[in-house]
Structure 1
Amino acid sequence: MTLNLANMLTLARIFAVPVIVVLLYLEQAMQTVLLAYLSAIVFALASLTDMADGYVARRQNLITNLGKFLDPLADKLLIGSVLIMLVELGWVEAWIVVVIICRELAVTGMRGVAADRGVVIAADRFGKMKTIAQSLALVPLLAHYPIFGYDPAPLGMFVLYVALGLTVFSGGNYLYNFYKNWLQAE
């Protein structure tokens, strides 16, 4: 197991998941603004490790098979867990989360088939835009209490719908390209 700085940043993103889940359960029980904002801050910091680990890995030539496996897994665990919690708390409709998680499973399965054939399918620009939009949507949804008279939740929902569109488009794009480039070649 290669634990370098990039992989440790990715692991930090994974370890942030239970912290955020506990904060959200506590916030629901206590209805405390501080816990909502704390969960949003922890999520935002965890999301930033996604950019940081990739930057460090490329800059210091620390790209490893462990990192290639953990990085997309960490993204899915972080975003998926928060989305599921937002459904549990009644802040997001379940169908949105079902579409997002189904896309993630479909693309992950496709990547597994490609990996079995010795091909690594990296995230494309639409997949990266999707992840950024999802992260940007979840911060204001987590910090759902008004601050200085501004309610962040409607902005979060708007960005989540944009992220949903990118999620569906990027998933379709991955699957189309996979079919066109790999399956038709057989």
Structure 2
Amino acid sequence: MPFNLPIFLTWLRVALIPVFVALFYWPEPILAGEMRNTLAALIFALAAITDWLDGFLARRWGQTSAFGAFLDPVADKLIVAAALILLVELGRTSGWLAMIIIGREITISALREWMAQLGAHRSVAVAYIGKLKTTAQMVAILLLLYAQPLIPGLDPFLFGNGLMVVAAILTLWSMVYYLKMAAEQFRR
């Protein structure tokens, strides 16, 4: 297993998950609600930044590896799933939205693994629709974690859940796209 800065950043994202989750289980007197929300949003934002940065650095410095290609999406899916489950538990978003997003992630991960075994992993490579989905999802999660108005009069729950619905629609759309790409491989 290679060890370099991109791999370190990916491992950092994995290591942040228990810290992120633990914030919501600390007693209120130790960590007040607004501070908890702010710290959780900052940790999630750091994870999102390291997600972008590790891939950028790996490509730029020629430090891509099979292990990094495996670990990066796993780290992403783990922190997103943890955030969505926490948001549902806190009553900040709907369970059906979390199920759509988490279900798609599991489905596409399994599809990519299967296609890789068939030697056709490029047919389900990340597409632009997937990047749009990720952007909407990350911003929605950040707003719902922060849970405070960034702009006076703008309800973070209404806006965050609106973006969550957009993310769920893009999630389903991207899943259909990837399934169609995989189906084309089978027809060949």
- Give the TM-score normalised by structure 2: 0.91
Instruction: State the 1:25 CA deviation.
Output: 2.5
Alignment of 1:105-124 (within 5 A): 105-120=106-121, 121-124=124-127
Which residue, 145, 161, 164 being the options, matches 2:165?
161
Aligned-partner SS, 2:26: helix
Shift, 1:169, TM fit: 0.5
Name the amino acid aligned to 1:108: S
Q: Which amino acid aligns with 1:177?
A: M
- Give the direction of change, closer, same or farther, for the CA distance of 1:60–1:149 in structure 2 (3 Å limit): same
In structure 1, distance between residues paired with 2:149 and 2:180: 42
CA contact (8 A) 1:96 1:164 kept: yes
C-alpha deviations, 1:21-64, integer Å up to 9, x for none?
A: 11122377865211111100110111111110111011000100
Aligned twin of 1:54: 55
1:177 aligns with 2:181: yes
Number of the residue aligned with 1:8: 8
Partner of 1:142: 145
- Paired position in structure 2 for 1:45: 46
Q: How far does residue 157 in structure 1 lie from its aligned partner after superposition?
A: 1.0
Q: What residue identity is the alignment partner of 1:25?
A: Y
State the percentage of identical aligned residues.
38
Letter in 2 for 1:116: Q
Q: 1:132 and 2:135 equivalent?
A: yes
Matches of 1:27 and 1:91 in 2, distance apart?
Answer: 19
Q: Secondary structure at the match of 2:24?
A: helix
Measure, in 2, the Cα distance between the counterparts of 1:142 and 1:105: 23
> For the Cα contact (< 8 Å) 1:136–1:159, is it kept in 2?
yes
Q: String of CA shifts for 1:68-93, please: whole Å, max 9, x gaps.
A: 10111111001111001111111111
Distance 1:136 1:174 in 2: 23
Which segments of 5 or more consecutive residues in structure 1 lack a partner in the other structure? Answer: none
Report the Cα offset of residue 112 of structure 1: 1.2
Letter in 1 for 2:109: T
Change (3 A) 1:27 1:162: farther
Greater shift, 152-161 or 57-66, is seen at 152-161
Aligned length: 184
Aligned partners of 2:65, 2:163: CA distance in 1, in Å?
Answer: 33
Q: Which amino acid aligns with 2:178?
A: Y
Tell me how far apart the structure 1 counterparts of residues 137 and 27 of structure 2 sit (CA, whole Å). Answer: 21
Q: Distance in 1 between matches of 2:116 and 2:151?
A: 50
Report the Cα distance in structure 2 between the residues aligned to 1:65 and 1:92, rounded to whole angstroms.
Answer: 35
- State the one-letter code of the partner of 1:11: W
The Cα of 1:153 is off from its aligned counterpart by 2.1
Which of 8-17 and 52-61 deviates more?
8-17
CA distance in 2, matches of 1:169, 1:67: 27
2:45 alignment partner AA:
A
* Structure 2 unpaired stretches of 5+: none
